[in-house]
Structure 1
Amino acid sequence: MNKLYLSLLIITGLFSACTSSELVENWKNPDIDTFEAQKVLVIGITPDENARKVFEKKLAGELKKNGVKAVKSLDYFEKSFTNSPKTETEVMSLESQLIEKGFDAILLSKVLGVEDKVTVVKAYRNLDKTFDSFRDDYYENQDIYYDEDYYSAYQIFHAESSLYCICPDKERELIWKGSIDITEPENIKKAVSDYVKVLVWALKGQQLLIIEEMTDEGIDI
């Protein structure tokens, strides 16, 4: 077990104790030590447009504070883009357009609802379904946009963020994904703020997008 992963494991409990969001699982491509991007598209998939606006604005803002050039999908997509499902061909075309516009990474976040801690355990088994590309992930989960009752019965939200490389000179692949529990979803602003804090902290810890100098003790922050 490397020192970075051990450090993350030890301080996860301390970090989550003061927030309504908790990192419960994360995976990093073993072939990648660090990953920097020239331009990142931030996408939040949710049927709640207000929550999406709050989330994308908060996350893009935090990334910018850390020196990352981030663009909200709400600023990039045409307003009608999410009004109807897109075919795989259309999503492939979107990737090509993004590359032409100078994007080389996508940070995609989506919320998967679970009713209680018993079903949370069952839900984690679904994490075995890993999407190797942004195209497949977006295509398979875009129906969340259109289901207004998607979250109505849930008390605990299970969310997942995935970082994809769409670098023109490299294979388009999954760089990292993290699963985060949200225990106070009824307060949108607090839930979003806490989620973004955990997500940014996790990216820093894995040396992804936000690159910081490391010491023998772990992250030098």
Structure 2
Amino acid sequence: MKNQFLYVAVLSCFVLFSCSDSELVENWKNPEIDSFQAQKVLVLALYNDKENRSVFEKRLVNELIAKGVNALNSDAFFMDYEADRPYTEEDLEALETQLLLEGYDAILVSKVLGAEDKVTLVQSYRNLSRSFEDFGSDYYSSQDLYTQEDQIEKYVVYHAQSVLYCICPEKERQVIWRASIDVTKLDSDKKAIKEYIKMLLWTLEEQNLLISSSKF
């Protein structure tokens, strides 16, 4: 039954976002948890580009707040500790204790796992959705492939992951949910961030995590 639910969720997502620049690759939810709404969630992005990391966190926090979630970006907690990274495991345990003391009960971590260059033949791709009844029509519409150098489109695909952790006192760093999302960067990092967050929020709401689907 669980596998059937996951299949339906992924299939629905594919239908809604088939024309999007983001793709849900993995969507796992802790089977022990039906729904989860945090009292206070820390949004943390792990990425080596400080500017894009800040843009991502602020945009995601604003989107979550708009949906009724009490969310704050990492600057609200780490403040001037940025220079002290990387942390030891002992440091992180102390930070988690401090988070609990300040009322946080969840952390939403997002990170870029890698990126790869992609190349596609634009005309060839567009012709996949067309059917031809005779050779002449097919050949006429496809002859631009002879000059395919002008039809090649290059782009970057980011492989990213988001994980929702519960830091409730009675449960140690429990993973509530995780998802892997591929995002295509066609023209700008800002657009890629926007597409990723769109997919991320949609998936959270579908799983009734952080965002209560009954309210919106």
TM-score range, shorter chain: 0.7 to 0.9
Contact 2:38–2:106 (Cα < 8 Å) also in 1: yes
C-alpha separation between the residues in 1 aligned to 2:38 and 2:85?
Answer: 30
Residues 1-221 of structure 1: matches in 2 within 5 Å? 1=1, 5-115=6-116, 155-184=156-185, 187-213=188-214
Matching residue's letter, 1:166 = I
Correspondence for 2:150:
none
> What displacement does 1:106 show?
0.1
> What displacement does 1:53 show?
1.0
> What displacement does 1:82 show?
4.8
Cα–Cα, structure 1 residues 160 and 185, in superposed 2: closer, same or farther, change >3 Å? farther
**Could you report, residue by residue, the CA deviation over 1:120-152 in whole angstroms, capped at 9, with x for unpaired residues?**
xxxxxxxxxxxxxxxxxxxxxxxxxxxxxxxxx
Cα–Cα, structure 1 residues 105 and 170, in superposed 2: closer, same or farther, change >3 Å? same
Correspondence for 2:123:
none
TM-score by length of 1: 0.74
C-alpha separation between the residues in 2 aligned to 1:110 and 1:161?
Answer: 6
Cα–Cα, structure 1 residues 185 and 86, in superposed 2: closer, same or farther, change >3 Å? farther
C-alpha separation between the residues in 2 aligned to 1:200 and 1:184?
Answer: 19
C-alpha separation between the residues in 1 aligned to 2:186 and 2:5?
Answer: 30
**Secondary structure of the structure 2 residue equivalent to 1:163:** strand
Contact 2:159–2:181 (Cα < 8 Å) also in 1: yes
> What displacement does 1:185 show?
6.6
Matching residue's letter, 1:50 = E
Contact 1:109–1:161 (Cα < 8 Å) also in 2: yes
> What displacement does 1:27 show?
0.7
Matching residue's letter, 2:198 = K
C-alpha separation between the residues in 2 aligned to 1:66 and 1:181?
Answer: 24
Matching residue's letter, 1:199 = L
Correspondence for 2:149:
none
Contact 2:109–2:163 (Cα < 8 Å) also in 1: yes
**Secondary structure of the structure 2 residue equivalent to 1:115:** strand
Q: How many residues align?
A: 179
> What displacement does 1:81 show?
2.4
Which stretch has the larger CA shift, 33-42 or 3-12? 3-12
C-alpha separation between the residues in 1 aligned to 2:187 and 2:81?
Answer: 28
Matching residue's letter, 1:203 = L
C-alpha separation between the residues in 1 aligned to 2:186 and 2:79?
Answer: 28
> What displacement does 1:63 show?
0.8
**Could you report, residue by residue, the CA deviation over 1:25-59 in whole angstroms, capped at 9, with x for unpaired residues?**
11110111111110000000111011011100111
**Could you report, residue by residue, the CA deviation over 1:67-110 in whole angstroms, capped at 9, with x for unpaired residues?**
11000002221234255311110011110000000000000000
C-alpha separation between the residues in 1 aligned to 2:62 and 2:186?
Answer: 21
Q: What is the alpha-carbon root mean square deviation over aligned residues?
A: 2.1
Larger of the two Rg values belongs to structure: 2
**Secondary structure of the structure 1 residue equivalent to 2:80:** coil
Q: Which runs of 5+ in 1 are unaligned?
A: 118-153, 214-219
Matching residue's letter, 1:115 = E
